[in-house]
Amino acid sequence: MTMTDTQNYETIRADVTDRIGTITVNRPEKRNALSRTVLTEIGQVLDAWEGSPDVQAVVFTGAGEKAFIAGADISQLQHYDLAYGLAAHMQKLYDRIEEYPKPTVAAVNGVALGGGLELAMSCDIRILAENAKVGLPETTLGVLPGAGGTQRLSRLVGKGRAVEMILTSRVLTATEALGYGLCTQVLPADGLLAGVRTTVQTILSKGPLAVQMAKLVIGNGAETDQRTGLLLERLAQTLLYTTEDKAEGANAFLAKRPPEFRGR
């Protein structure tokens, strides 16, 4: 029997099942718009889960069937000022998600616009429901994507497509997003979370230290030249060669049995 530990906050739900933590933005009446409270509560959950052995991966999704996260709460946007912009609360939270030591997956179950797409892009993997639509329409409001959108989108889909999407506020269908390389899978809406969990369980069956190192090397290597990236790769591999998990992985393969990794 699978046991689920659920915590309800004011604007999100936090569930843990089979080592997978799921953060659900729970404001369906607002299309799960991002308020300051949502950002604060996501940060609190990430704090709690980072050092917990009970959580080995994190999934983000939205409540209801229509929206993942439809963007920032526009009722709050009109009060943002110079000081709030410089504080960059949302950008800093998304930087943290991108650098989180555990694998992160965005289960995009509906509309993901503005800050919603920016959150998804900060995750390691994005999987979309067939009915999902994604875009960065901030220029329509007289601002720009300021939580990493101008940078992460161009790295994922290329500069030309990023410029076109942002300047025109173009919204992509799930199929278009897959063609752009903005996501890795498109699944039926009623099978999205099950498909995401299958992907996450596959990741969790691998060596945890290898997964963490791979995240570090890929993430940091993408921001530097290839020579430096290859050096990072070499050093990470050298460290992994010294671990018990490496020995277990090789022994299990030769013995034709599933490995029992311990993260050591």
pLDDT digits over 81-99, tens only?
Answer: 666 666 668 899 999 999 9
Cα separation values, 51 from 46, 48, 95, 156, 177, Å: 9, 7, 18, 29, 34
Domain boundaries in the chain? 4-204, 208-255
Q: Any catalytic annotation for residue 138? A: yes
Catalytic residue, from 29, 41, 65, 118: name it.
Answer: 118
Superfamily of domain 4-204: 2-enoyl-CoA Hydratase; Chain A, domain 1 (3.90.226.10)
Contacts of 118 (CB under 8 A, 6+ apart): 90, 94, 136, 145, 147, 148, 149, 152
The pLDDT score that the predictor gives to residue 74 is: 66
Q: What SS3 state is found at 12?
A: strand
130 assigned to active site: no
Task: At 261, list the tokens.
Answer: 């990794």
- CATH 3.30.160 assigned to domain 208-255? The reply is no
User: Can you give the pTM of this predicted structure?
Assistant: 0.91
**What's the confidence (pLDDT) of residue 1?**
31
Spans of the chain, pLDDT less than 70: 1-4, 73-88
Q: What pairs with residue 112 in β-bridges?
A: 69, 134
Distance CA(80)–CA(75), nearest Å, equals 10
Q: Which of 29, 50, 65, 138 is catalytic?
A: 138
* d(C-alpha 123, C-alpha 22), whole Å: 13
Distance CA 103, CA 225 (A): 24
